[in-house]
Amino acid sequence: MREDISCPLCGSTDGQTITTQMPVHSYFDCLDCRLISMHKKNHLSHDQELARYLLHQNDVTDIRYQNFVNDVISFVQTHIPSTATGLDFGSGPGPVITNLLRSQGYLVCCYDPYFAHDPGLLSTQYDFIVSCEVVEHFYNPADEFLKLKQCLRPHAPLIIKTLLYKDSNDFSNWYYPKDPTHVCFYRSFTFDWIAKKYQFLPEILSNRLIILWNHP
């Protein structure tokens, strides 16, 4: 019997299955929004996912990770006044971006479903939202992008850092899906689709840095 599979972003059932090795996982490659998403049967449990996140070494004093997020910090400093309020969405156990921006005078709140779970932070609006290495973890990207849209003031940016997939790569051997907590993978086309769906103006600055400006 055929498994009923649909895209968690656009809901389409028009796509194909990709299988990776080590670990052996199945993914749905949507032909409409072009998102690649892990089949639900391969999702980790809550406890398994938390255990994996606790292995991350995102210490706020780690110079290597500070350098990794430097493009995010530079964008905020260049485009957003230090009087602005922001949200670090998916801040993790070591909120490096929050720490760096606060040191520059920004008022930044941390939200993370595991490490800083304060739903009240999602009932207000911000001058900017940073989501670094987070969107690839979305089980329900349609709901998450709507939530982020609602948390942004008009013309405010959603600053996303994730690794875009290019069709010239072989997904089955790509290193990014080897992390079992990575369940969604985006092409540049996917962010164009998201922008049209949720009324953003997209700006893809690099293969890792995507800006979605809230277009009221």
Q: What is the pLDDT of residue 64?
A: 84
> Can you list the residues of the chain whose pLDDT is less than 50?
1-2
Q: What is the pLDDT of residue 2?
A: 45
DSSP the chain: -------TTT----EEEEEETTTTEEEEEESSS--EEE-GGGPPPHHHHHHHHTT----TT-HHHHHHTHHHHHHHHHHS-TT-EEEEET--SS-HHHHHHHHTT-EEEEEBTTTB--GGGGGS-BSEEEEES-GGG-SSHHHHHHHHHHTBPTT-EEEEE-PPP-TTS-GGG-SGGGSTT--EE--HHHHHHHHHHHTEEEEE-SSSEEEEEE--
Domains and CATH numbers, the chain: 15-214 (3.40.50.150)
Q: What is the pLDDT of residue 53?
A: 83
Q: pTM to 2 decimals?
A: 0.94
Q: What is the pLDDT of residue 57?
A: 60
